[in-house]
A and B are shown apart, each in its own frame.
Chain A
Amino acid sequence: MPHYPEGTVRALLQTELVTPATRAALEARLNAPADYTPQFFDADTYQLLRAVAARIFPQPDRETPIELAPAVDKRLTDGTADGWRYDAMPPDREAYRLGLGGINQAAEAQFQQPFMALSAEQQDVVIGQLAAGKAAGENWQQVPQDRLFEEMLAELTENYYAHPLAQEEIGYVGMADVPGWPHVTPNTLEPREPEPISN
Chain B
Amino acid sequence: MPDEEVLEEGLLNPVQPEIQDPLLKSILADNATPATEPTGEEAPNPLPDPTDEVDCVVIGTGAGGAPLLARLAMAGLKVVALEAGPRRDPTKDYATDEKAQNFLFWNDERLSAGQNPVAFGKNNSGTGVGGSTLHYTAYTPRAHRGDLQLHTDFGQGVDWPFGIEELEPYYEEIEHFLGVSGPTPYPWDAGRRKGYPLAPLPLNGAALLMQKACAQLGIQTSPAANAALSARYYQEGIGWREACTNRGFCQAGCNRGAKASMDVTFLPLAESFGAEIRADAYVTEIERDASGRVVAVVYEQHGRTVRQRCRHLFLCAGAVETPRLLMLNELALNSGQVGKHFMAHPGMQVWGTFEDDIRPYKGIPGGLISEDTHRPKDADFAGGYLLQSIGVMPVTFATQMVRQRKLWGQPLRDYMRTYNHTAGINILGDCLPHAANFMELSDEKDARGLPKPRLHFTAQENEQRMNRHAEKLMRQIWEAAGAKDIWAFERYAHVIGTARMGLSGDDAVVNPDGKAFDVPNLYICDNSVFPSALSVNPALTIMALSLRTADKFLANLR
Contact = CB atoms under 8 A, between A and B. Distances in A.
A161 B398 contact: yes
Given A184-B362, A186-B357, A157 B399 contact: yes
B385 interface: no
Contacts of B255: 19, 21
B506 interface: no
B356 A186 contact: yes
Interface stretch (A32-40, A98-106, A110-118, A148-156): A148-156
Nearest to B93: A21
A149 B363 CA distance: 34
A11 to B, nearest CB: 17
Interface stretch (B7-15, B16-24, B115-123): B115-123
Contacts of B398: 157-158, 160-161
A7 interface: no
Contacts of B245: 177, 179-181
B96 A177 contact: yes
Interface in B73-127: 92-100, 102, 105-113, 117-125
A65 B94 CA distance: 28
Interface string B190-209: 00000000000011110011
B246 A83 contact: no
B85 to A, nearest CB: 13
Contacts of B124: 83
B406 to A, nearest CB: 6
A174 B361 contact: yes
Nearest to B206: A186
Contacts of B414: 1
A177 B248 CA distance: 9
Contacts of B417: 1-3, 169-171
Contacts, number: 189
A108 interface: no
A158 B97 contact: no
A143 to B, nearest CB: 15
Given A82-B122, A177-B249, A170 B394 contact: yes
B454 interface: yes
Interface string A28-58: 0000000000000000000000000001111
B452 to A, nearest CB: 9
Contacts of B298: none
A56 B409 contact: yes
Contacts of B408: 55-56, 127, 131, 153
How many chain A residues sit at the interface, stated as a range, is 35 or more
Given A83-B106, A84-B119, A25 B97 contact: yes
Interface residues of B, number: 69
A198 B357 CA distance: 14
B358 A157 contact: no
Nearest to A172: B394
A32 to B, nearest CB: 13
A84 B419 contact: no
A127 B410 CA distance: 13
Nearest to B255: A19
Contacts of A186: 205, 208-209, 354, 356-358
B209 A25 contact: no
A52 to B, nearest CB: 10
A183 B363 CA distance: 9
A175 interface: yes
B95 A87 contact: no
A18 B94 CA distance: 12
Contact of A162 (B98, B110, B354, B410): B98
Contacts of B107: 80-83
B356 A162 contact: no
B321 to A, nearest CB: 12
A58 B454 contact: no
A25 B97 CA distance: 7
A184 B111 CA distance: 39
B70 interface: no
B112 A87 contact: yes
Interface string B371-413: 0000000000000000000000111001100110010111011
B97 A175 contact: yes
A18 B413 CA distance: 26
A61 to B, nearest CB: 9
A191 interface: no
Contact of B409 (A58, A158, A174): A58
A184 B125 contact: no
A109 interface: no
B167 interface: no
Contacts of A56: 408-409, 412
A197 to B, nearest CB: 12
B108 A83 contact: yes
B284 interface: no
A25 B99 contact: yes
Pick from A19, A24, A57, A186 the residue with the most CB of B within 10 Å.
A186
A158 B122 CA distance: 12
Given A150-B403, A171-B419, A55 B409 contact: yes
Contacts of A171: 417, 419-420
A195 to B, nearest CB: 9
A158 B399 contact: yes
B306 interface: no
B247 interface: yes
Given A83-B105, A161-B395, 10 more contacts: A22-B96, A26-B97, A57-B413, A82-B105, A87-B112, A87-B454, A160-B398, A175-B97, A181-B363, A196-B357
Interface of A: 1-3, 18-22, 24-26, 55-58, 79-88, 91, 124, 127, 131, 149-150, 153-154, 157-158, 160-162, 167, 169-172, 174-175, 177, 179-187, 189, 193, 196
Interface of B: 92-100, 102, 105-113, 117-125, 202-205, 208-209, 245-249, 255, 354, 356-359, 361-363, 393-395, 398-399, 402-403, 406, 408-410, 412-414, 416-417, 419-420, 444, 447, 454
25 contacts: A21-B93, A21-B94, A22-B95, A25-B95, A83-B108, A83-B110, A84-B121, A85-B110, A85-B112, A154-B403, A157-B402, A158-B99, A161-B398, A171-B417, A174-B247, A174-B248, A174-B393, A177-B96, A177-B245, A177-B248, A180-B246, A181-B246, A186-B356, A187-B357, A189-B359
